[in-house]
Structure 1
Amino acid sequence: MATGNATAAATGTAPRRRRAATVVAGALLLVATVPLVFRAAGSDGVTPVPQLLAFLPWLLVPAGLALALSLAARWRPGLFWAAAVLLGLTAFVRPYGDGAPAPHGAPLARLRVLTANLEFGRATDGLLAALRRESPDLVAVQECDPERCATALDSPAVRAAYPFRLLAGHGASEGSAVLSRFPLRADGAVAGELAMPRASVTVQGHRLRFQVAHPMPPLPASLATWRTELGRLRDLAAARGPEPLVIAGDFNSSQDHAAFRAVLEAGLHDSAGRTGSPRTPTWPARTTPVLGAQIDHVLVSDALRPRAARFLDLPETDHRALAVDLELYATR
């Protein structure tokens, strides 16, 4: 009799386990499917879709786990669903917008661009070390607080290395800066909650426009602002004129966000993507390079050709810095 009860209990346990596995698999697939559908539709949707889209490649993990659970539960619809999600995610993991024509002729100039988000100025010392180590020609700084960062950038050593600069914004998160070895003049700004100044820079007799990017992050309360500010960067790219354009900074968006892809589609190219690092994470720094999203970018127009990109770990900030070597060619 006891043996019969044990057999009945075991027989009842297996269906319960399969049902539990089916429920968990369905939940995991739902988490992966919703952002995938919006990605395919070319829309960023509403919270939590934009936040999930930033980590789209990592959704392969719950989708793969759902496939294993569906197999264990003998849930045939789940197997087909998981396979479809995995195929869809794999298709979108490929680099986006990497079809720029190669410039012709010899380069007119070579320059190095560095962008760094200092997280309220905390990584100022790390930035100064990176400037000495990397010797960039143009620097875009975000979250340059007026006390620590702005004061450090005004030191004699930094002024000697970078005699030309722009400072904008007054708060710890709002402040931005442009440092340059080349002559520059203020060239307006992109309107935003966080300062996004622009400079006209003369590089060995050739002018280019250098724009700092720092739209608001896609938090639930600031989604509309995030879209609007990325739209203003897109408008700048679309109306850029004949002069070469660089937009560098913390875009708070990845290639899986429709609002960011619209900036690229206005005629710009992602330097990291063109040099073979389209998915190297820059945020959050605590989990990179294993886990994260690439939201810090250096975007360039056709007259600028990226030759190399390096991701730099700075202490005391939640972002990795990005240094890009560029060649400037004559515009056609």
Structure 2
Amino acid sequence: MYPVLTPAGTERPGPPRPPLRPRHSVTAGAAGLLLAAPAVVTACRLLGTDGVTPVPQLLALLPWLTLPAGLALLLAAAARRRALALTAAVVLLATGWSSLPYTPSAVTSYGPPQARVRVLAANVEFGQGTGALVRLALRERPRFLFVSECDRACGTALTTALAAVLPHHTAVVAPGAAGSVLLSADPLHERGAVPATLGMPGATTTVAGRTVRLQLAHPMPPLPGASGPWQRELARLRDAVAARVSGPALVAGDFNASQDHAAFRAVLDAGRLRDAAREAGRSRVPTWPVEGHLPPFTQIDHVLHSEDFTVADVRFPEVEGSDHRAVLADLDLRGPR
């Protein structure tokens, strides 16, 4: 009961306050639970950190987290919890804003084009997509082919079938997912590899009289509860591209990271690199997974390039037998400005 003042100023008992409906409490609780993941993951994205499990895994799902955030807003409104509804609205707006497609870099001028370079990067999933990749490469005729999860049999099949168009190669020969091979239409020099669990070979070559650094990327995935190797190997890749003093560079492969991951953006920043998909306005086209019951939901396969290149086109062809889409990028190597 609560008091009610009469005109004479005396108090008399008023009607009882309506009790909180249990249904509203349950609805508000559900809204809070739904809001937790979008709030934490979006905060980490805005703060530029990948956090710990499950944040690195959920960052790959960032655009999809607008769904639980939106549902949390509806439930909070239905429960008549204004503070919770306001919080949900802020989280939904922040998550939606963070999920917008990345815009191309702001660039004002380039030198004249010197050569058109076609790059193809593909993960063939333990070699299962080797035959399909051969057919794709013969049809598209890339100048450089970066292949992840390519074991000895896969490497032999590729170098044999593509010997006429991509006669030069360097590889990390290893079983299963640890093998990788880089094939080139031009002679390769200064071969080496970034130390990692999965093969990351690299080399230099010459295009239009200029030395171009080539590096295949395939760090470990951020496994739940064990994202340390993923972070360390992306850091090694970052240090390798940062060691390039100047000149054209191409870094391509399965990064096991999207542009929503701080560790991936660090690679871009350290090497002064750009993502070809972003420059082509296709930064949210998912490349994984393309097998199973789930639709592809994240772009973890990339072709990165230095400022010496501009992007003419980017496509994402499927490779039968693999759980990744390939990335096919047409780039123009530019002369001095």
Q: Please state if 1:261 is matched with 2:257.
A: no
- Residue by residue over 1:192-213, the C-alpha shift from the partner in whole angstroms, topping out at 9 and shown as x without a partner, is 1111010111123322011000
Q: CA deviation at 1:182?
A: 1.4
User: Partner letter of residue 312 of structure 1?
Assistant: P
Q: CA deviation at 1:275?
A: 0.2
Question: The residue matched to 2:215 in structure 1 has which SS?
Answer: strand
User: Partner letter of residue 130 of structure 1?
Assistant: L
Q: In the aligned structure 2, how far is the partner of 1:265 from the partner of 1:151?
A: 35
Q: Structure 1 pair 325/217, CA: closer, same or farther in 2 (3 Å)? A: same
- Paired residues for 1:161-176 under 5 Å: 161-176=165-180
Q: 1:59 corresponds to which residue? A: 65
Q: 1:4 corresponds to which residue? A: none
Q: Please state if 1:117 is matched with 2:90.
A: no
Q: Please state if 1:227 is matched with 2:231.
A: yes
Question: The residue matched to 2:277 in structure 1 has which SS?
Answer: helix
> Which blocks of at least 5 consecutive residues in structure 1 are unaligned?
1-10
User: Partner letter of residue 277 of structure 1?
Assistant: R
Q: Structure 1 pair 324/288, CA: closer, same or farther in 2 (3 Å)? A: farther
Q: Please state if 1:217 is matched with 2:221.
A: yes
- Residue by residue over 1:103-156, the C-alpha shift from the partner in whole angstroms, topping out at 9 and shown as x without a partner, is 523211111000000110011111111112211110000000112x1231132x
Greater alpha carbon shift after TM alignment, 217-226 vs 89-98: 89-98
Q: 1:293 corresponds to which residue? A: 298
Question: The residue matched to 1:237 in structure 2 has which SS?
Answer: helix
- Residue by residue over 1:211-257, the C-alpha shift from the partner in whole angstroms, topping out at 9 and shown as x without a partner, is 00000001135411111111122122222122211100000001111
> Which blocks of at least 5 consecutive residues in structure 2 are unaligned?
1-17
Q: 2:11 corresponds to which residue? A: none
Q: Structure 1 pair 251/221, CA: closer, same or farther in 2 (3 Å)? A: same
Q: Please state if 1:312 is matched with 2:307.
A: no
Residues paired across the two proteins, number: 319
Q: Please state if 1:271 is matched with 2:273.
A: no
Question: The residue matched to 2:197 in structure 1 has which SS?
Answer: coil
Question: The residue matched to 1:230 in structure 2 has which SS?
Answer: helix
- Residue by residue over 1:281-326, the C-alpha shift from the partner in whole angstroms, topping out at 9 and shown as x without a partner, is 1111137995411110011111011111000111111111000000
Q: In the aligned structure 2, how far is the partner of 1:276 from the partner of 1:105?
A: 22
Question: The residue matched to 2:316 in structure 1 has which SS?
Answer: strand
Q: In the aligned structure 1, how far is the partner of 2:321 from the partner of 2:206?
A: 33
Question: The residue matched to 1:209 in structure 2 has which SS?
Answer: strand
- Paired residues for 1:243-258 under 5 Å: 243-258=247-262
- Paired residues for 1:100-111 under 5 Å: 100-111=106-117
Superposition RMSD in Å: 2.0
More helix by share: 1
- Residue by residue over 1:47-98, the C-alpha shift from the partner in whole angstroms, topping out at 9 and shown as x without a partner, is 0010001111110011011111112222212211111111111221234574
Q: In the aligned structure 1, how far is the partner of 2:294 from the partner of 2:268?
A: 24
- Paired residues for 1:1-332 under 5 Å: 15-96=21-102, 98-147=104-153, 149-155=154-160, 157-266=161-270, 267-286=272-291, 291-331=296-336
Q: In the aligned structure 2, how far is the partner of 1:300 from the partner of 1:288?
A: 33
Mapped contact 1:103–1:305 kept (Cα < 8 A) = no
Question: The residue matched to 1:248 in structure 2 has which SS?
Answer: strand
Stretches (4+) displaced over 4 A: 287-291
State the identity %: 47
* Max Rg structure: 2
Could you tell me the TM-score, scaled by structure 1's length? 0.91
Q: In the aligned structure 2, how far is the partner of 1:307 from the partner of 1:265?
A: 22
User: Partner letter of residue 239 of structure 2?
Assistant: D
Q: Structure 1 pair 189/152, CA: closer, same or farther in 2 (3 Å)? A: same
Mapped contact 2:248–2:306 kept (Cα < 8 A) = yes
Greater alpha carbon shift after TM alignment, 246-255 vs 227-236: 227-236
